[in-house]
Chains A and B, each alone.
Chain A
Amino acid sequence: MTTFFEHNLENVKSKLLLMGQLANESVKGAVQALVEGDSVLAKAVRAKDEEIDDLENELSGSVTTYLSTHAPVAADLRLLVATMKISHEIERIGDEAKAIAKRSCKTTMHEFHGIPQMANIAHDMIRDALSIFVEFDEDKAKSIWTTDLEVDQLHKDNNKFCQTLVEKDPTVASSVFEVLFISKSLERVCDHAVNISKEIFFMATSRDVRHAPEYKKAALRRDLK
């Protein structure tokens, strides 16, 4: 039998997962709007951000109420604290998606180099991060951190690509900058996915890996080699 309290906690989980999937869809939609030059879709993505913000408010409300009325300890407390932090990260992802959608209308470029690939990877990373929230899987969590390195490399490649474009024809600079910022946004989205997975790692194992030296980027890169 489920108690009232348990129901509340599970409810918080459901809300967080919905919020995460909405944000993930927004990122996908924003990049699709960019690649296909679909301004209607871009507008829809920007409108979706409000929904995510509302969910964040709702979540922080229920978490605060729960904390103050039940004084949870151990796993429950970790879950609630992690939920608060993750919802913030997701809200940031939503903001990045909104920014991408906004910039997609401003650029006149038709070549996006590594951006579609980055978007695919980002989509999978957020999905994986949310899936370990449902059922924790240590290996999956770690694979998210190594995938992030790939995205960093793609962002660097984009950087170089944009640089050569501007060098060739400085008049396209403003358009190229938009694409560059979009690339940066996607890179940030992936960083948020990593942060989410680290929060979940702490929640599930009570081991803090957020600033652990063995999981820093440099160390991961060395391990990969």
Chain B
Amino acid sequence: MLWLLILILTLVAGYFGLQVKHTNRIIRQVLGSIKEGNSLILEKPFLLGDNFPLRLCQNILEENAEKMERLVEESNRRTHTFNEILGGMLDGAMILDGNHLVTFSNSVALQNFSPDGPMKGRRIEAFIDAFEVLELLDKLSRGKKPSKAEFSYERRGKITVYEITCGLLSPVRSSQNEVYLLLLRDITEIKRTERLRKDFVANASHELRTPVTMIKGFSETLIEEPEISHNQSRSFISKIHKNALRLKALVDDLLSISELEGSEQAINPTNNKLSDVIRGIDLYLQDKPYVDSEKLVFSLEEEREAFPFDAIKIAMAIGNLIDNAFKYAGNFSAVKISTQLSDDRNFITCSVYDDGNGIPANDLDRIFERFYVVDKGRSREKGGTGLGLSIVKRIIEAHGGNVRVKSKLGEGTIFSFELPRIAKV
């Protein structure tokens, strides 16, 4: 009897013992799934009915896990969009916390300011130390309005100008410090063209004013002084004429330039042979009496097929090069104009060579700039405008070619350009 009682007690104890163990495991599972945010997968019920309260727990957890998953997905999507927007921008973007520590930077900012390592968690001053930027941030931290600044940034000898726009982002929690959004735009090219335009306007008005003042002065004298001698008035009139011609040359050149810069349609390609155009170059040199056609030497490669280019503009370019040689080369025996087809016949190279004085090496880089002249006095005396070579450059570039110059003092100068024979214009 006693044995039977002991047996029954053992069985009952064993049953409860197992149940406690199982409950323990389930609690661990529940805790685990709460921590991980997963849905709860209960093991098959162990000697327990479906009405066990853990079922309820399971349902709630599953619901929560689903909600969590949706939230995570939503937040991932938002982060992704945010990163895509900032990352896809052409401007550099950075986010700083109130301590000037970078908390986010897009790929452009990373590439421009810290190509060797990450920016996150480091101070902005480690990358950008321009006082303009620090001043801007200082102003913002004092509660002034977000604004813009420009600064130049030097890396490996290359100077880039940036425009920085700084905005204040409101913090997520009010207890946190402010967050700054910096946008950095490369405006080097804009600055450069702005300066070129300013220079151009200043130069053009200066160049135009000189002949106008002369004409005004001499004509006023002629009008107001009735007792002027015949010889003197002749000399005044010839000076007025000379300046009028100069004015015309300037205006013509300026018009050519503005036409070439103004639109894509400035070039009207027609099928022609370059050698034919060069042989007819005399036509374009008619109004230049100092050009001695005896001194022109042609060495032209015959082309079998015509190709599309703007004959008038190209003739103007070659005419300008020849004109320059006669104006500035000084003592030369001949101006040689040659053409040569490339081996694959895709390009034709034209060069204008003179064996005159040559151009000083440090002027070579700048002679294609508008209004740049090597010797101001001589250029004016010869009626040069300083625009000839920049017109040549424009014409050739509009055809898809480029102009080069080689020169040695005392030995001569060679200008050459190539034109693609496959139409690209």
Contacts and interface: CB of A to CB of B under 8 A. Distances in A.
10 contacts: A10-B98, A11-B98, A14-B137, A17-B129, A18-B137, A21-B131, A130-B125, A130-B129, A134-B123, A135-B122
B149 to A, nearest CB: 13
Given A2-B98, A14-B137, A18-B138, A134 B131 contact: no
A127 interface: yes
3 shortest interchain CB distances as A-B pairs: A21-B131, A10-B99, A18-B134
Interface in B128-167: 129-131, 134-135, 137-138, 141
Interface residues of B, number: 18
A168 B123 CA distance: 53
A18 B126 contact: no
Contacts of B123: 13, 134-135
Contacts of B122: 135
Given A7-B98, A18-B131, A134 B125 contact: yes
Interface of A: 2, 6-7, 10-11, 13-15, 17-18, 21-22, 24-25, 127, 130-131, 134-135
Interface of B: 97-101, 122-123, 125-126, 129-131, 134-135, 137-138, 141, 177
Chain A facing B: main interface SS: helix
Given A13-B100, A14-B137, A14-B141, 16 more contacts: A2-B177, A11-B99, A14-B100, A18-B131, A18-B134, A18-B138, A21-B129, A22-B135, A130-B125, A131-B126, A131-B129, A134-B123, A134-B125, A134-B126, A135-B123, A135-B126
A75 B218 CA distance: 81
B125 A17 contact: yes
B126 to A, nearest CB: 5
A97 to B, nearest CB: 13
A55 to B, nearest CB: 9
B99 A2 contact: yes
B160 to A, nearest CB: 17
B44 to A, nearest CB: 45
A25 B131 contact: yes
A43 to B, nearest CB: 18
